Every structure is written in C-alpha cells, then in structure tokens.
C-alpha cells in the first residue's frame, strides 16, 4: 500500500502558524510580566507614600487665651485654737479630785481640780509660827529700844548702848518682814492647790486622775489639762514667695475641711511674718476664721483657697503644652506650612494646670496641645483640630 505524500505548501503553512502562535504567546506573556512589574512598582510607590504620610505625627493645637477668668492659689493649712493653754501644777502633791472632763465648756476662774499638798501645808504652818516669833521679837526690841532711848536722854545710859538697841529693833523689824513675806509666798502657793481655768474655752485634754502624783515641775510630764478657746481659730499656712504680694492683710480666704465636703468657711488674713524662710522659700501667714458653730476642730487639716488678682492681658496655656529640655523651656507651635516652630517662653505665674505666659507667645499662635517626644524644629505635622481652652485653674 502506498502512502500519500503531503504537499510542501501545506507544510510551510503549518510551520508559519506555529511560529505565529508562539510569537503571540510570547507577546501575551511579556504583557503579563510587564503589567505585574508595573503594578508592583505602583504598589511600592503607594506604600512609600502611605508610610511617609503615617510617619507625620498627628497633633491637636490650641491658641493661648486671655486670663479673663479668676485664678486661685490652693494651699494646705492647719487649724489651731485662737488661745491654747496647757495647765500645769504649781504645787507638788496628789490629785484630790477633778471636776471637768474632755470637751467640757469652762469659764475663766472655774475650778478644774484640787491638789492635796501636805508638805506645803506644813511649810505654811511653820512659816506662820516663824512670823509670830519674829513679831514677838520685834515687839520686845521696840519696847527695849524705847526704854533705852529714854534713859539715854537723861544721860543715864551711854549713847553707844542706845544705838545698839535701836539697831537691834531695825533687825527685828526686817526679820518680821521676811517672815511675813515667806507666809505670803506659801499662802499664794497654797491657793494653787485649786487648779482653775485661765479663760473661757473647752477642755481639750485631761492627763491626770484622782490619786496621781503631781509634780510642780512643768518639764517633768504632761499638762494636767489643756484649755482651748475655739470660738475663733487660727489657720497657719506657708505662701510661696512669688505669691506673697498677692495676699493682702485683711483679705478674705476660702477654707474647706474634709469632714464637711462642699461647705466653705471664710477666713481673714490677720498677720504675716514678713520674712521668707531660706529653706522653703515661703512666708508664714496667719488667718482667723469664725468658729461660733463649733464645727471646726483645732489641730485639723484645712485647705485654703486664695483668689489671685487678674491680669487681663496675660496669655494662658495648659501646663501640658510645655517642653522642658536642655535648652530651656519651650512650646511647640505650628506655622502656616504645618511645620513645627519651637518657641522659648517665660512663665509669669504657675497656676497648676494652667500657666500664664510672661513672654514668647502671641494670641494667634497655634500651640501643640500635647507635643510628642522627639519633636524637633521644622518637623512636619498633621493638624486634626483646634481645641479651645479656658485659663481656669488653681494651684
């Protein structure tokens, strides 16, 4: 069987078709590869752009405000009785009785306690006996001196003897005065067996009891009683040196205590030490507060609030905007091109959460509210909002 032969023209067309198909496949593959490379380059560019955008910090800004609102200075203080007297014994002995206990109101001169002092009683009796003896000796010396003076006038006795008797009378009179003074001294001490209140007030301490040994030395132990006048109280506080000019004598101060939250008492500045403590940099001041209600207690803690004079032209910013570094005190501002500008400033008054600016800022500056760490001059930032702030704060 003979095979049929394929014409050469057919073979040529077949080869050309295969070549065309291969070329088309290569073109398609090249287009796919090129498209992939281009897409990858575009994605990388977008990623770089997005990364660059994300690297720009986002900040909130605010503008300085005028200190038109009131500002205050808050300081801790200690309440003290207007008058406080520890009562010590003036005589030694044993406590016979006490009549008033803690918290009892007292009047000036009211009996607090009585002391038994047998040694003092015996000394007083002995002194009275010595006085009687001195008075008798003085009387005898007086009679003798008068008799000798009469005899001396008649030239019966020598003048020397008369002078001796007259001098002896002077000695006896002096001894009588000394004996009487000793009796008076012991009588006064005997009166101190009655312990009385020196002024109107309340008993804020009682440190003795019946039968207790009493020592007249005040350095030997506790006071028998402590009497305090609490109708008015003193408040002592330490004012920082830069605020002293703002606290005037007779000015009003608000006082609050933890046990009465929300209740405000009014005190008045009574006195100032007019000196600055070299260690603390503060001046000690004293306030007076009315306590006729009896609610406030001596020895208690109190918070004082002093209203400070207003500077209507001063600019205020929150304390959280401040930057402290090795170059000093700055704030970070944002210019029209969203670039950071670090501005050195000075502080006129530190009011705690808010500070008054002395120099370095204008009312139109955009201040970064909470500057991130590492922020440098000229850095780009993205501003999200402008937050209005009011300069209302207390220290």
DSSP-derived pairing of the beta strands 58-62 and 382-386: parallel
Nearest by Cα to 298 from 196, 208, 203 = 203
Give percent of the chain above pLDDT 70. Answer: 76
Tokens of 166: 């007259």
Is the pLDDT score of 390 beyond 70?
no
Question: Coil, strand, or helix at residue 144?
Answer: helix
Q: Is the pLDDT of residue 234 over 80?
A: yes
The CATH number given to whatever domain includes residue 326 is 2.40.420.20
pLDDT exceeds cutoff 50 at 305: yes
Q: What percent of the chain has pLDDT over 90?
A: 45
Examine the pLDDT at 302 and tell me if it is beyond 90: yes
Give the range among 136-145, 272-281, 340-349 with minimum mean pLDDT.
136-145
Domain assignment of residue 51, yes or no: no
Where helices occur in the chain by DSSP H, the ranges are 8-55, 118-153, 159-191
Q: Do residues 267 and 235 lie in contact, with contact meaning Cβ atoms separated by under 8 Å? A: yes
DSSP 154: T
Q: Residues 256-263: contacts with CB within 8 Å, 24+ apart?
A: 256/302, 256/303, 256/305, 257/79, 257/296, 257/300, 257/301, 257/302, 257/303, 258/301, 259/300, 260/295
pLDDT at residue number 316: 87
Q: Is the pLDDT of residue 73 over 50?
A: yes
Q: Residues near 48 by Cβ (< 8 Å), separated by ≥ 6?
A: none
Q: What pLDDT score does 391 carry?
A: 44
Domain that holds residue 351: 58-70+312-386
Cβ(308)–Cβ(243) below 8 Å: yes
- Strands of the sheet containing 194-196, edge to edge, are 194-196, 111-116, 93-98, 213-214
Q: Are residues 141 and 235 in the same domain?
A: no
pLDDT digit string, tens, across residues 9-55: 545 555 666 666 666 666 776 666 666 656 665 556 555 555 555 66
Q: Please tell me whether residue 100 adopts helix, strand or coil conformation.
A: coil
Q: Average pLDDT of the chain?
A: 82
Burial of residue 131 (number of CB atoms within 10 Å: 0-12, 13-18, 19+) = buried
User: Across-strand partners of 341?
Assistant: 333
pLDDT of residue 106: 95
| CB contact at 8 A, 391 and 357 | no
Same domain, 299 and 328: no
Indicate which CATH number applies to the domain containing 246: 2.40.30.170
What is the SS3 assignment for 117? coil
Count of Cβ atoms closer than 10 Å to residue 40 Cβ: 10
**Residue 216: per-residue pLDDT:** 84
In a domain? residue 204: no
Instruction: Please tell me whether residues 93 and 147 are part of one structural domain.
Output: yes
Please check whether residues 109 and 175 belong to one and the same domain.
yes
* The pLDDT value given to residue 173: 85
Q: Give pLDDT, residue 392.
A: 46
Question: Do 340 and 381 have their domain in common?
Answer: yes
Q: Is the confidence at residue 267, as pLDDT, over 90?
A: yes
Last residue of a domain, which of 277, 308, 339? 308
Token duo for residue 314: 């001063």
In whole angstroms, give the CA distance from residue 361 to residue 350: 16
Predicted pLDDT of residue 349 = 76
Domains held by the chain: number: 3
Do 90 and 185 fall into the same domain?
A: yes
The answer to whether residues 317 and 291 belong to one domain is no
* pLDDT tier at 4, thresholds 50, 70, 90: very low
Tell whether 222 is covered by a domain.
no
Mean pLDDT within 82-90: 93
User: How large is the average pLDDT for residues 107-134?
Assistant: 93
Same domain, 187 and 89: yes
Which segment, 115-129, 135-149, 215-229, 341-355, is predicted with the most confidence on average?
A: 115-129
- Which residue is it, tokens 């020196």? 198
When comparing pLDDT for 147 and 378, which is higher? 378
**Beta 354-359 vs 71-87: how paired, if at all?**
unpaired
* Closest to 73 in 3D by CA, of 392, 351, 358, 353: 351
* pLDDT in the model for residue 246: 85
Res 301: pLDDT: 93
pLDDT tens for 269-280 read 999 999 999 999
Q: How far apart are CA 370 and CA 42, in angstroms?
A: 36
Is 80 a domain residue? no
Among 196, 211, 239, the domain boundary falls at: 196
Give per-residue pLDDT as tens, 189-202.
999 999 999 999 99
pLDDT score, position 104: 93
Which of 148, 178, 196 corresponds to the end of one domain? 196
284 part of a folded domain: yes
User: Same domain for 326 and 361?
Assistant: yes
Determine the average pLDDT of the residues in 88-104: 93
Let me know whether 160 and 116 are in one domain.
yes
Domain membership of residue 21 (yes or no) is no
Q: How confident is the model at residue 100 (pLDDT cuts 50, 70, 90)?
A: very high
292 and 337 both lie in a single domain:
no
Examine residue 163 and state whether it is found in any structural domain, yes or no: yes
- Sheet bearing 65-66, strands edge to edge: 65-66, 315-318, 354-359, 346-350
3-class secondary structure, 254 = strand
Residue where the block lists tokens 């200690």: 78
Residues 96 and 180 in one domain: yes
Question: Is position 264 within any domain?
Answer: yes
Q: Nearest CA to 228 among 130, 285, 294, 135?
A: 294
């Amino acid at each position: 069987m003979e095979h049929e032969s394929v014409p050469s023209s057919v073979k040529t067309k077949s080869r050309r078709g295969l070549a065309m198909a291969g070329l088309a496949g290569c073109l398609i593959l090249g287009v796919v590869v090129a498209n992939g490379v281009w897409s990858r380059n575009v994605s990388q560019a977008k990623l770089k752009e997005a990364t660059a955008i994300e690297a720009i910090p986002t900040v909130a800004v605010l503008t300085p405000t005028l200190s038109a609102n009131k500002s205050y200075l808050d300081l801790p203080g200690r309440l003290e009785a207007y008058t406080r007297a520890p009562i010590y014994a003036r005589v030694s002995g044993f406590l016979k009785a006490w009549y008033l206990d803690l918290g009892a109101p007292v009047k000036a001169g009211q009996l607090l306690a009585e002391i038994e002092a047998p040694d003092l009683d015996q000394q007083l009796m002995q002194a009275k006996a010595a006085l009687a003896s001195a008075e008798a000796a003085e009387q005898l010396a007086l009679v003798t001196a008068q008799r000798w003076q009469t005899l001396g006038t008649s030239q019966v006795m020598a003048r020397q003897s008369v002078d001796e008797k007259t001098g002896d009378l002077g000695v006896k009179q002096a001894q009588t005065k000394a004996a009487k003074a000793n009796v008076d001294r012991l009588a006064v001490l005997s009166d101190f067996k009655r312990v009385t209140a020196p002024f109107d007030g309340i008993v804020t301490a009682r440190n003795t009891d019946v039968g207790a040994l009493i020592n007249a030395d005040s350095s030997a132990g506790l006071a028998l009683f402590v009497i305090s006048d609490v109708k008015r109280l003193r408040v002592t506080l330490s004012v920082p040196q830069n605020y002293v000019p703002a606290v005037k004598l007779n000015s009003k101060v608000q006082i609050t205590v933890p046990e009465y939250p929300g209740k405000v008492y009014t005190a008045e500045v009574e006195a100032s030490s007019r000196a600055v403590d070299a260690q603390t940099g503060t001046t000690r001041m004293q306030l007076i507060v009315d306590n006729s209600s009896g609610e406030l207690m001596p020895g208690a803690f109190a918070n004082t609030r002093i209203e400070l004079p207003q500077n209507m032209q001063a600019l205020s910013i929150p304390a959280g905007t401040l930057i402290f570094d090795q170059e000093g005190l700055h704030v970070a501002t944002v210019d029209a091109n969203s670039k950071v500008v670090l501005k050195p400033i000075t502080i006129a008054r530190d009011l705690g959460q808010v500070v008054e600016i002395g120099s370095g800022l204008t009312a139109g500056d955009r201040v970064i509210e909470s500057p991130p760490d590492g922020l440098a001059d000229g850095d780009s930032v993205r501003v999200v909002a402008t937050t209005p702030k009011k300069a209302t704060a207390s220290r």
